[in-house]
Structure 1
Amino acid sequence: MASEKEIKEREGGVVKKGHEEGLKMAVELLEEFSLPLGLLPLENVVEVGFVRSTGYMWIAQKKKVEHSFKLVSKLVSYDSEIHGYIQKHRIKKLKGVKAKELMLWPPVSEIIVDDPPTGKVHFKSLAGVTKSFPVEAFAAGQ
């Protein structure tokens, strides 16, 4: 459920409801902001929203989804609610995404694609740890 702060953040946003429309909008946002199209492997999308003036975006799914990125042997968990601020080559203040590291699931707080492109995408955790991987590992269909 969205908090009062999140409701305020969403004011003036474009919202798409349902899996087909929501998934289409999520992919269009990744494309527009030069991010890998397979970054958000979503299932059973309920709603996707975006506020262009602030860059705030949110995604609601029916349930949490775990996805394995095989090229980098990385298991990632996507909560039923994901939100953050999207801008060219980056998503910051990200909430709802965790990557498995050994036995822990640290939250991913920022995703950055190098500009100019080096073929790398960087994932930062709240603890300040950054992991870098090849962009191809997050292409659509991976």
Structure 2
Amino acid sequence: MAISLLEEFGLPLGLLPLADVIEVGFVSSTGYMWIVQKKKVEHNFKIPSKLVSYGTDITGYVSKKQIKKLKGVLKAKELMLWPPVNEITVDDPPTGKIHFKSLAGITKTFPVEAFAAGQ
């Protein structure tokens, strides 16, 4: 169901490489989604060469081409720090870019293909 949510809202299918998912939920009236997995997962994306950490409880508000108020997911290692990502947006109209914003004021942009399924 997590992959279905990504697909439905036009987000890259490899954005959430999760394992041992216990529960997935979505409230269509608000866009609130949650994912619970058995343990924390770390994934190394090859193209942006980023190690990303996913917590056991992932929540946020998903809408067309974006996730806002994201918690528990996508902590990308930058300069020995792990700033949590608060928002993910895919350009609309499409430019092939995806943007990650953190509460710490760090914004990173990568090619959308970097987060395709199997990356």
TM-score, scaled to structure 2: 0.98
Sequence identity (%): 80
Structure 2 counterpart of 1:118, which letter? Answer: T
Deviations, residues 74-111 of structure 1 (Å, cap 9, x unaligned): 11000000000000000000000211112110000000
Q: Trace 1:20-59 onto structure 2 (pairs within 5 A).
A: 25-59=1-35
How far apart in 2 are the matches of 1:28 and 1:140? 12
- SS of 2:3's partner is helix
Q: Trace 1:1-142 onto structure 2 (pairs within 5 A).
A: 25-97=1-73, 98-142=75-119
Runs (4 or more) in structure 1 with deviation over 2 Å come to none
The structure with the largest alpha-carbon Rg is 1
How far apart in 2 are the matches of 1:73 and 1:99? 10
Matched residue count: 118
Q: Report which of the two has the higher share of helix.
A: 1
Structure 2 counterpart of 1:63, which letter? Answer: K
How far apart in 2 are the matches of 1:51 and 1:116? 26
How far apart in 2 are the matches of 1:76 and 1:92? 18
How far apart in 2 are the matches of 1:74 and 1:130? 14
- SS of 2:95's partner is coil
Root mean square deviation, CA, Å: 0.5
How much does 1:125 deviate?
A: 0.3
TM-score, scaled to structure 1: 0.82
How much does 1:128 deviate?
A: 1.9
How much does 1:51 deviate?
A: 0.3
RCO comparison, higher one (Cα < 8 Å, 6+): 2
